[in-house]
Amino acid sequence: MSFAVEHGEVLGFLGPNGAGKSTTMRMLAGFLPPTSGTARIAGADIQAQPVAAKSALGFLPEGAPAYPDMTVTGFLSFTGRIRGFTGAVLREKVARSMAMTELDSVRLQPIETLSKGFKRRVGLAQALLHDPPVLILDEPTDGLDPNQKHEVRGLIRRMAPDKAIIISTHILEEVAAVCTRAIVIARGRVVADATPAALAGRGPDLDTVFRDLTLGQGAA
């Protein structure tokens, strides 16, 4: 599998369960070493230059793991300190990321007491905290209610001109709503790479296109 995402692009990363989406994203983020090949984040090789690559990356992994006994503010402050921020700059970064993800109302609650949707937003906030040029988001709207999904999609659209963004999702309407391009993978191979409009043009709707491609009836 080989692909590139340019500045200003929002790439929808699609495929059935077991296709390799999360594995690919973990390798891109440096959490899982590839057995061959490599990846570059903002020009930095994730294996040869891991600190430079990860400093340019915001990553929301599957499940949005966090320290459950920390408060939202405590966890984001911890994340910011790891990123090298202190004092007034750290406080500004935490406040900004909470405002972007609308977490202020739960800022003093332990993460373990939050709903799935709020936990997802905490994970998104930590990915955005250092304003990285590259974002890799695994199911960013998972667990959110319709209004929250709308807000997160709007946030992604607002950030899109200044970043390269990869979104893994099973929600096909999300691709049409926020993505400028979509890749469909199956069995670890790219089977389609096109704009959402081009994919939609290959069938009555994205669901049909997605089903046909993952069954091996379509090709890029």
- What stretches of the chain adopt beta strand conformation (E)? 10-14, 40-41, 44-45, 57-60, 134-138, 164-168, 181-186, 189-194
pLDDT confidence bin for 205, thresholds 50/70/90: very low
Quick one: CA torsion of 179, 164, 59, 152, rounded to 10 degrees?
Answer: -40
Interatomic CA distance for residues 100 and 123, integer angstroms = 12
State the chain's mean pLDDT as an integer.
87
Lowest pLDDT segment from 129-143, 146-160, 199-213: 199-213
What is the pLDDT at residue 144?
84
Interatomic CA distance for residues 66 and 79, integer angstroms = 10
105, pLDDT greater than 70: yes
Is the domain 1-56+133-220 a CATH 3.40.50.300 member? yes
- Mean pLDDT of the region 208-216: 47
H helix and E strand count, the chain: 9, 8
Residues of the chain with CATH 3.40.50.300: 1-56+133-220
- In degrees and rounded to multiples of 5, residue 29 shows phi and psi of -85, -5
What is the pLDDT at residue 173?
80
